[in-house]
Structure 1
Amino acid sequence: MSAEDLARLSLAAFDQVVGSTLGFRSRPGQRDMATRIATALSGVTLGEHASPEKAITVIQAGTGVGKSAAYLSTTVSMALARKTRVVISTATVALQEQLMTKDLPALAAVLETPFVFALAKGRGRYLCKFKLERFVGLGIAGADEASEDLFGIDEDTPPPKATYAKQLEGEDPEERRMKLYDSLATAIASNHWDGDRDNLAEQPDPRDWSAVAAERHTCTARHCPRFRDCSYYNARTKLSEAHVIVANHDLVLASLGMKALPELDNCLVVFDEGHHLPAVALDQFSSAMDLSGLRWVDKLPKILQEVSEKIHMALAQDVHTLAQQLKSALHDVGRLGMDLLTVSSTGYDGVHRFKDGVLPEALHDPVTLIQGHGSGLAKALEALGAELKLRAKEDPSEAANCSAMYAKLGQMAPKLNSVVTTANLLLEHGPQPLAKWLKSDTSSGLVFLTAHACPIVPGDLLRQYLWSQVRGAVVTSASLTSCASFDYFLHEAGLVNKPYVSTLEVESPFDYTTQGQLIVVETTADPKQAEAYTREMVGELMGDLARVELGALALFTSRVQMKAAVDALSASLRDVVLVQGQMARGRLLATHQARVEAGFPSVIFGLQSFGEGLDLPGKLCETVFIAKLPFSPPSDPVEEARSEWLKTVGRDPFSELVVPATGIKLLQWTGRAIRTEDDHATVICYDRRLLKLGFGRRMLKGLPPYPVTRRVDGVAHPA
């Protein structure tokens, strides 16, 4: 089928979908989006080819465009015609649920060609039945020495706050694990559960779950006795039969080269909520090592020696000496690190970043020792693992024993790999420095010290590892432009100056000039004067809250700022305000909705996570209060390192990074106001810099075309 025929077929599918939608309102922008996708992707070359054609189209689709219908109808119909598949990657669980329960079923009901869709999850979301059987069969948890040694709970990992609180109340962790593993075994045996953690009625403690979770390092795959009814591999089989796979950005990047998802050069890809890709890339390619929980280092040589003796394989390394030296070097780095943190922060919580990505001389030698000793132990572990897989393959009667020993080794692999990888990055030097820092955390009640290293330019990572593989893709979101330009996102995503990349901005169908307004309050205090500004802003906010009739949302840039507003609430307003963190998100939103539907005022106080993805249409949100322009905290070590590097090469990080990044956040925050064509809402921003300063006016250009007024001493004036 020619490119022109594929484009026509895809657009015909789009027309069929929208024509079948009850109450559909014509949205020219939605058709523009569908046309761009159909045209751009129709000419890409998939599979093996000497000089393949590529196309990546970057589309900002304003709120209300209906972007999922535009990209689903076009890409799925095109993939079916080409006998290939579509991978749809999102950043949030909420969008995944919408695609799986609403959008894809609706598309399947309309398209003439039937198709199968499935949700892809990471391996760790599934139960390893082999591990669970060993626990239950050997006495569960720590009750049996062999079981504890074989699949020990990771005691070095800090417990979640809720778990720590229960432990303080006297909860026995052994008893908790016994109950959990017994209940899981019963559910599996009775076919009442499929091994998917997300399908459990109550989510287990992450540390308890990790001991029985399916993991790459502990899995012998087809050589495992339970391979035929493995929860994870059964899910992968279903995934291989699907024409459309819904995943998330983390999984897509983590699976590159792993064959857990379709090869990206032989399918079509959609990255929805694409503005998250750069941050996810940095997270995926960063590394950290624990400097305080080191009991695993003592276990490692014993496990290596025991396995080597059982299979009569001599180790090339003196693992006991290597482990002792590794632990000593880790202790040295931890001791020196705590000295640095004590100097640079109050108490035990804090971050110490190494300027220009250069380690102090005192840390260089112990980190070099960590790298060398860790690499030696990793080689020993890898050699034993390879031998166990080979023996399981050659002698199926030994598969169970080999799988058990392989899992025993694999339990050690993640921590050992993180030590080696982090040490390598900490010692790395190049023209572009890495962000390197130490962090101390006491949130669990104990002191946990970690060392971190991370690249600072996400675009380089995405260009090298992702876009080099992708042939045809759509990157879309409601917030890809900043300050009325795609430039910032294209640089961050590694797509700038590429001939195969096209951009399109699709306007929202909403009439912002009549449906909303933006009011900028001019405070006397400069926003840089944090205490004075917060005091004045809170006073203005209290007056505005008193006039709220139904639903409203107040967004703050810090917990300190939000607490100041909470403390200032009058008795009557305290009954109106719901504060993020005081109850579960779902319960908070349900309470808010119930109040508004009953005709009472209700205001949500929230932070950054409530500024994106929150859908409060109609009366649920008639006013959005923005306490301050949402600049990121200046203490983020990766952003600090990147700004530092840009200054050294003569560039302006504030103009190049900070302003456009804040512009995108501001676009998201203001986007909470108007969610449907019938909404009417007001955005009130208390930060005068939006109108007074050049960077504020740059951000303003990227916002929807609200009528703008400024308020001085309670009086409105034309902007």
Structure 2
Amino acid sequence: MNPEQQALIQKAYREFLEGRKVKPRGGQKHMIADIAKSFAAIAEDDEGHRKGNNHLIAIEAGTGTGKTLAYLLATLPVAQARDKRLIISTATVALQEQLLLRDLPDLKSLTSLEFNFALAKGRGRYLCTSQLSKVAASLRSSEPEDDNPTLSLFEKELMAAPGASDEDLMTRLVDDFASGRWSGDRDSLKEAVPNELWERLTTDHQRCSNRRCPHFAAACPFYNARRELDQADVIVANHDLVLADLALGGGVILPAPEQSYYVFDEAHHLPDKAISHFAATFRFNASLKWLQLLKKSQPDLLKAVVASPSATSQLNQLVNPVDDLVRDLGMLYAQLRDKINFQEGYNRSAPVHRWPQGQLPEGVREFAGQLLIHFSSLCRNLESLVNQLRDAQDPDKNTSLDADIASEWQPLLALLHARALAAHQLWSLCAEPDPEGRPPHARWLTLHRQAEGEEDLELSASPVTAAGDLAYRLWSRCFGSTLTSATLTALGKFDRLKHRSGLADSTLCKSYPSPFDYPRLGVLEVPKQACDPSQQQAHTEAILDYVETELNHPQAAALVLFSSRRQMNEVYDGLPSQLKRITLTQDQLSKNRLIEKHRTQVDASKPSIIFGLASLAEGIDLPGKYLTHVVIVRLPFSTPDDPVDATLAEWIEASGGNPFMQITVPDASIRLVQACGRLIRKEDDEGKVTLLDRRILTKRYGSQLLNSLPPFKRQLS
């Protein structure tokens, strides 16, 4: 490393420790050194672009290591010296808030480091001033629909129409923004705005007219926030926003990957986030509705753009692809609904049909190819129309379209263009064959039964691994990156992370254990009540017996983690009345309200038990008296009917592998470590982890899972 940078990091570390009056931690010091050396070793050309492929490092650091301080100190001084932006990406809002409200302010106030930081959020979290102006105008008008009945029709069909109470809320929002009491950031609102109403007040990349908007210069909340990002040395984002920026080409929402150093905290979530991000869905009847609305609105659209021969020509060219789509989608819907037998899943809210290894029937694939052609034509024509309407709003461009009319129609056509692009993505994934020798896409159909007996079919396609997308879109482009989490290894190895994330085998990987004295602080028990969960009724009764005998005491502060909502509710229903009164379930309250009520009961010296699902096995912080007992009712294997996991398992098996040992067990290991990690959050926490699944003692994979857990004192019956 550059000696000056090394000295700066060491000085800042001493200042922070002295300011916080804490002692250095061994794992933290090693982590700082590893990341700083890795970052400093990246070679650059004369234009500041990375040379070589030694730019990635993955570090697993156990709870209590102090990961956040380590990666901030290791990367920030080097990033500033190299004129690179530091993007910290998290998976949860809780960690974002910790960074913004505690970690970054403390680093700035306690050390001599000089830097600015900001939070990056997508457009959807901000008010669109142009949309607000339209809402305000409609609130002032007694008959808002008379001006443009076609636009009003689209608003009714594509967006929820506001009721009387909604209009009161919108009036308050208009007043608060106009008076400066509200900045336009949804997350700063004191009262909740329902999603269907917020959609009327925000915009997206497609609908936004950017610099052509009259509010762009000073009154746009999103671009005001973007200007803050331009001045920030450290940008706090989340995995979804990073992936969205990469999907747009990179450098659209966030700084360009080539000029950025990323830190992915909670990095074990990144592969799943990427899989979801690069998946696509399509609802038949919902899509037919907006296509038919587009066809119905064509006469009014032609009147609006009559002054432009080019726009008129583009509108006329929409007729054939829309007619073809309505015809072919109707035919395919009838064919699928008549011929497919849907299966109810154990953990599904709707019946699903999954095609084995994602292979669509030849007839469906042919339909997909036709639909892809039609949607391609529709996308091209809509894109051209949207661009012409945007240009008409630009005072520097001379067009024949009226600017006011263009500003009225552009958001609607941009919304339809976005929907056409999403449909194009889905049919592209269904029409194109999967490459030989590579994992296939999962493809499945979901039957949604709606109100008043209406039905809709939803076709979905998803990659079964994000390795290729991440390698191509992110790792090959970024200047450098650190991936870190308390759980990056599976069964003690980084192989699963590398495979899922597209990391090269040569990627530097390090692991540092937690500094906590686990044998002294905690106990891991498999009690006599534990049994094989395949005996469902016996397992439910065993859980009931354990809760009644071991958690029924005045000091109870427990978290019971279930893999099935159905079983969670069965156990709750079977509890005696005195235990029901102190038990909170995820079906009764939101996650935040659940934690808040649990803390309140414990603070009042009352017992409290939480019944939760997988989302409570990670990311919640209940230190000390708030949690002294974690009960895991079964090993957290993935659900056997998940279409993506099932398709990947089929492909691995067809390739001669063992999907259970290659995927299911390693992934369960990570989830099990996360669940156990809820117990010990600080050096003086104490408690017990109970596992009510006897397979960990009787199956050959059990010892592997046990060995991957924190080294609690063990009591295995």
Fold conserved (TM > 0.5)? yes
> Aligned to 1:218, what secondary structure does the other structure show?
coil
CA distance in 2: counterparts of 1:153 and 1:388, whole angstroms: 18
Residues 537, 240 of structure 1: alpha-carbon distance in 2 compared, 3 angstrom cutoff: same
Q: Aligned residue for 2:256?
A: 263
Q: Aligned residue for 2:332?
A: 333
CA deviation vs aligned residue, 1:477-517 (integer Å, no higher than 9, x gap): 1111111111111211111413xx21111111110011111
Residues 707, 555 of structure 1: alpha-carbon distance in 2 compared, 3 angstrom cutoff: same
1:433 corresponds, among 414, 421, 440, to: 440
Residues 112, 696 of structure 1: alpha-carbon distance in 2 compared, 3 angstrom cutoff: same
CA distance in 2: counterparts of 1:455 and 1:148, whole angstroms: 42
Q: CA deviation at 1:311?
A: 2.8
CA distance in 2: counterparts of 1:8 and 1:583, whole angstroms: 50
CA distance in 1: counterparts of 2:325 and 2:334, whole angstroms: 14
Q: CA deviation at 1:88?
A: 0.5
Is 1:708 equivalent to 2:706 in the alignment? no
Is 1:475 equivalent to 2:487 in the alignment? no
AA of the residue aligned to 2:481 = A
> Aligned to 2:285, what secondary structure does the other structure show?
coil
Q: Aligned residue for 1:55?
A: 55
Matched-pair contact (CA < 8 Å) for 2:386–2:413: yes
CA distance in 2: counterparts of 1:473 and 1:600, whole angstroms: 46
> Aligned to 1:64, what secondary structure does the other structure show?
coil
Q: Aligned residue for 1:223?
A: 212
Matched-pair contact (CA < 8 Å) for 1:435–1:641: yes
Q: CA deviation at 1:552?
A: 1.0
Residues 5, 423 of structure 1: alpha-carbon distance in 2 compared, 3 angstrom cutoff: same
Q: CA deviation at 1:308?
A: 4.5
CA distance in 2: counterparts of 1:564 and 1:663, whole angstroms: 26
Q: Aligned residue for 1:197?
A: 186
Q: Aligned residue for 2:421?
A: 417
Is 1:395 equivalent to 2:397 in the alignment? yes
CA distance in 2: counterparts of 1:274 and 1:146, whole angstroms: 51
CA distance in 2: counterparts of 1:185 and 1:457, whole angstroms: 44
1:530 corresponds, among 536, 548, 557, to: 536
AA of the residue aligned to 1:583 = L
CA deviation vs aligned residue, 1:216-252 (integer Å, no higher than 9, x gap): 1112211112211211111111111111110000000
CA distance in 2: counterparts of 1:145 and 1:240, whole angstroms: 43
Residues 334, 183 of structure 1: alpha-carbon distance in 2 compared, 3 angstrom cutoff: farther
CA distance in 1: counterparts of 2:155 and 2:670, whole angstroms: 39
Of 208-217 and 643-652, deviating more is 208-217
Q: Aligned residue for 1:651?
A: 657
Q: Aligned residue for 1:102?
A: 102
Q: CA deviation at 1:353?
A: 0.9
CA distance in 1: counterparts of 2:410 and 2:536, whole angstroms: 56
CA deviation vs aligned residue, 1:61-102 (integer Å, no higher than 9, x gap): 111111111111222222233333211000011111111111
2:309 corresponds, among 290, 307, 312, to: 312
Q: Aligned residue for 1:375?
A: 376
Of 262-271 and 383-392, deviating more is 383-392
1:627 corresponds, among 619, 630, 633, to: 633
Matched-pair contact (CA < 8 Å) for 2:159–2:200: no
Residues 199, 206 of structure 1: alpha-carbon distance in 2 compared, 3 angstrom cutoff: same
CA deviation vs aligned residue, 1:313-344 (integer Å, no higher than 9, x gap): 24256322321221222223333333455543
CA deviation vs aligned residue, 1:693-715 (integer Å, no higher than 9, x gap): 2212111111111122212xxxx
CA distance in 2: counterparts of 1:220 and 1:49, whole angstroms: 32
Q: CA deviation at 1:269?
A: 1.2
> Aligned to 1:89, what secondary structure does the other structure show?
strand
1:586 corresponds, among 586, 592, 613, to: 592
After TM superposition, list the pairs within 5 Å mapping 1:352-371 onto structure 2.
352-371=353-372
Query: Unpaired runs of 5+ in structure 1?
Result: 160-171, 712-719
AA of the residue aligned to 1:179 = D
CA distance in 2: counterparts of 1:567 and 1:379, whole angstroms: 56
CA distance in 2: counterparts of 1:146 and 1:480, whole angstroms: 58
AA of the residue aligned to 1:674 = I
Of 391-400 and 402-411, deviating more is 391-400
AA of the residue aligned to 1:434 = H
Q: CA deviation at 1:524?
A: 7.4
Q: CA deviation at 1:426?
A: 0.9
Residues 227, 646 of structure 1: alpha-carbon distance in 2 compared, 3 angstrom cutoff: same
- Once superposed, what is the RMSD of the aligned Cα atoms? 2.5
> Aligned to 2:306, what secondary structure does the other structure show?
helix
CA deviation vs aligned residue, 1:321-378 (integer Å, no higher than 9, x gap): 3212212222233333334555434999311111121222342343233212211111
> Aligned to 1:261, what secondary structure does the other structure show?
coil
| TM-score, normalisation: structure 1 | 0.91
CA distance in 1: counterparts of 2:105 and 2:364, whole angstroms: 56
> Aligned to 1:475, what secondary structure does the other structure show?
strand
Residues 140, 470 of structure 1: alpha-carbon distance in 2 compared, 3 angstrom cutoff: farther
Q: CA deviation at 1:106?
A: 0.4
Q: CA deviation at 1:584?
A: 2.9
CA distance in 2: counterparts of 1:285 and 1:131, whole angstroms: 29
Residues 140, 44 of structure 1: alpha-carbon distance in 2 compared, 3 angstrom cutoff: farther
Residues 176, 332 of structure 1: alpha-carbon distance in 2 compared, 3 angstrom cutoff: farther
Matched-pair contact (CA < 8 Å) for 1:378–1:417: yes
Q: Aligned residue for 1:234?
A: 224
1:485 corresponds, among 493, 497, 504, to: 493
Q: CA deviation at 1:611?
A: 0.4
Q: Aligned residue for 1:68?
A: 68
Of 502-511 and 545-554, deviating more is 545-554
Matched-pair contact (CA < 8 Å) for 1:13–1:77: no
Residues 146, 255 of structure 1: alpha-carbon distance in 2 compared, 3 angstrom cutoff: farther
> Aligned to 2:620, what secondary structure does the other structure show?
coil
Of 79-88 and 99-108, deviating more is 79-88
Q: CA deviation at 1:140?
A: 7.4
After TM superposition, list the pairs within 5 Å mapping 1:146-185 onto structure 2.
146=147, 149-150=150-151, 173-185=162-174
CA distance in 1: counterparts of 2:702 and 2:390, whole angstroms: 60
Aligned residues: 695
Matched-pair contact (CA < 8 Å) for 2:61–2:486: yes
> Aligned to 1:245, what secondary structure does the other structure show?
strand
Q: Aligned residue for 1:596?
A: 602
Q: Aligned residue for 1:111?
A: 111
Residues 52, 529 of structure 1: alpha-carbon distance in 2 compared, 3 angstrom cutoff: same
Matched-pair contact (CA < 8 Å) for 1:153–1:211: no
Is 1:556 equivalent to 2:562 in the alignment? yes
> Aligned to 2:645, what secondary structure does the other structure show?
helix
1:295 corresponds, among 274, 289, 294, to: 289
CA distance in 1: counterparts of 2:493 and 2:140, whole angstroms: 58
Is 1:406 equivalent to 2:410 in the alignment? yes
CA distance in 1: counterparts of 2:303 and 2:611, whole angstroms: 56
Is 1:618 equivalent to 2:615 in the alignment? no
Q: CA deviation at 1:383?
A: 1.5
AA of the residue aligned to 1:40 = S
AA of the residue aligned to 2:704 = R
| TM-score, normalisation: structure 2 | 0.91
> Aligned to 2:491, what secondary structure does the other structure show?
coil
AA of the residue aligned to 1:315 = S
Matched-pair contact (CA < 8 Å) for 2:531–2:695: no
AA of the residue aligned to 1:15 = R
